[in-house]
């Protein structure tokens, strides 16, 4: 008998490993699911040059030159005029709330200035909190607008730029296009998500692996009390992380903070509470700490890619945007960037804040229901 190597023993060990792999449905699903998710997201959902960006049009006249400008902007494929407003204040509210990326203003005397050659202007206000999202649309703006106006005036576009049109571009909230202003506030959400979900996802599984789950169940405590006992300590950990990141953002990176600190803290509290409840729900599904970490990673990947943190949210196809809406990080990024960079008040972030509250109730309900089933 060969004590060093035996094909029979090797095949027996391989058969045992395959049987264990087949029984571990979570691990087996991760092996197939993660590559598939990466392939779909990077192949279809990610786009660094977004098109069909929502825009608002402030137009005070309906002359032929105004229509030519609007048509030219839409033809580029970058602008999609979803909102026609009558005042600059309405456009200001839309861009502050994040409903539009651009506000295009064409003055009432535009046609008269064009006819007289008296320096006609159009104003483009761009939401520059994410500089990469609007860079393509801005770079082609002047050439397209002047060409359209030249054609509308019946001039020969081949002889050069004969249009006196002046395109004024205001990059709102981040005029210098500094990427730190966009990345650093988003990092707060990513860091909180990674730590809060990961730590709370192993809350119950750690009890099971250590053999202390029976003692926990024997305590005269309801599932809701057990959940609070597991969740609340991590809120304190999250508070420390928030202070560290916000202080570093101001002192190290010079990120502006023009909004309400109290409104931001409320949003952070809702976000962290939703995350720890999500992690607690994962801990009721997973049987081991390794499975809990695997499920956490499976949640991280699409959340970071589809939330607008790494890639422009508006650049993704509609189906990817709908998927991105189910992640708390997507809504939190909009809230924190709006408050810190735009100085947005509660009406501008009310919808995103309400979505964070919805996530809290959904995660808490599912976690409690799942915890009761695991007691049987």
The answer for residues whose C-beta is within 8 angstroms of residue 34's C-beta and 6 or more apart is: 297, 298, 301
Per-residue pLDDT 10s for the chain (376 aa) are: 566 667 777 777 777 777 776 666 666 666 666 667 666 666 666 676 778 888 898 887 777 888 888 888 888 888 888 888 888 888 888 998 888 988 988 888 888 888 877 788 888 888 888 877 777 777 777 777 777 777 776 665 544 455 577 888 888 888 888 888 888 899 999 999 988 888 888 877 777 777 666 666 666 767 777 777 777 888 888 888 898 889 988 888 888 888 899 999 999 999 999 998 898 888 888 878 888 888 888 888 889 888 988 888 887 888 889 999 999 999 999 999 999 999 889 998 999 999 999 999 999 898 888 765 444 4
Cβ–Cβ under 8 Å, residues 164 and 247: no
Provide the CATH number for the domain formed by 53-172 in this structure: 3.40.1710.10
What pLDDT, on a 0 to 100 scale, did the predictor assign at position 355? 95
Position 85 scores a pLDDT of 87
Domains of the chain, residue spans: 53-172, 180-374
Picking from 359, 305, 362, the residue whose alpha carbon sits closest to that of residue 328 is 359
How far apart, in whole angstroms, are the C-alpha atoms of residue 337 and residue 292? 31
Q: d(Cα 341, Cα 82) in Å, to the nearest integer?
A: 24
d(CA 245, CA 126): 27
Report the alpha-carbon distance of residue 365 to residue 281 in Å, rounded.
Answer: 9
Question: What's residue 96's pLDDT?
Answer: 87
pLDDT at position 371? 67
Tracing tokens 């020969």 back to the chain, one arrives at 156
Among 48, 55, 58, which residue's Cα sits nearest to residue 79? 55
pTM of the entire predicted model: 0.80
Q: How many helices (H) and strands (E) does the chain have?
A: 16, 5
- Going by C-alpha positions, the residue among 32, 6, 97, 174 that lies closest to residue 331 is 97
In terms of C-beta density within 10 A (0-12 exposed, 13-18 middle, 19 or more buried), how is residue 344 classed? buried
- Residue 343: CB atoms within 10 A of its CB come to 15
């Amino acid at each position: 008998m060969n004590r060093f190597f035996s094909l029979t023993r090797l095949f027996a060990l391989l058969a045992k490993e395959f049987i264990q792999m087949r029984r571990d449905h979570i691990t087996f699903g991760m092996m197939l699911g993660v590559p598939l998710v990466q392939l779909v997201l990077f192949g279809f959902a990610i786009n660094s040059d977004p098109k069909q960006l929502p825009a608002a049009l402030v137009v005070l006249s309906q002359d032929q030159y105004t229509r030519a400008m609007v048509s030219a902007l839409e033809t580029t494929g970058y602008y999609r005029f979803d909102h026609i407003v009558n005042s600059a204040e309405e456009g200001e509210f839309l861009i502050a709330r994040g409903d539009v990326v651009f506000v295009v203003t064409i003055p009432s005397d535009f046609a008269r200035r064009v006819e007289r050659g008296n320096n006609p202007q159009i104003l483009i206000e761009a939401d520059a909190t994410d500089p990469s999202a609007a860079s393509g649309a801005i770079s082609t703006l002047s050439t397209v607008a002047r060409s359209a106006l030249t054609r509308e005036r019946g001039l020969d576009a081949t002889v050069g730029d004969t249009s006196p049109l002046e395109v004024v571009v205001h990059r709102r909230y981040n005029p210098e296009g500094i990427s730190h202003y966009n990345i650093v506030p988003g990092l707060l959400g990513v860091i909180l998500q990674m730590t809060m979900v990961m730590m709370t996802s192993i809350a119950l599984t750690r009890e099971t692996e250590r053999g202390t789950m029976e003692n926990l169940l024997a305590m005269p405590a309801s599932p809701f009390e057990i959940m609070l006992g597991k969740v609340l300590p991590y809120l304190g950990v999250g508070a420390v992380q928030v202070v560290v990141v916000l202080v570093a953002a101001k002192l190290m990176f010079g990120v502006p903070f023009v909004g309400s600190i109290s409104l931001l803290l409320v949003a952070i509290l809702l976000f962290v509470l939703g995350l720890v409840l999500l992690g607690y729900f994962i801990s009721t599904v997973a049987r081991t700490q390794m499975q809990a970490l695997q499920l956490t990673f499976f949640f991280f990947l699409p959340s970071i890619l589809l939330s607008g943190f790494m890639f422009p949210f508006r650049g993704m196809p509609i189906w990817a945007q709908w998927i991105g809406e189910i992640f708390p990080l997507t809504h939190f990024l909009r809230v924190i960037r709006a408050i810190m960079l735009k100085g947005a008040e509660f009406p501008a972030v009310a919808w995103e804040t309400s979505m964070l509250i919805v996530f809290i109730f959904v995660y808490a309900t599912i976690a409690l229901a799942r915890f009761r089933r695991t007691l049987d």
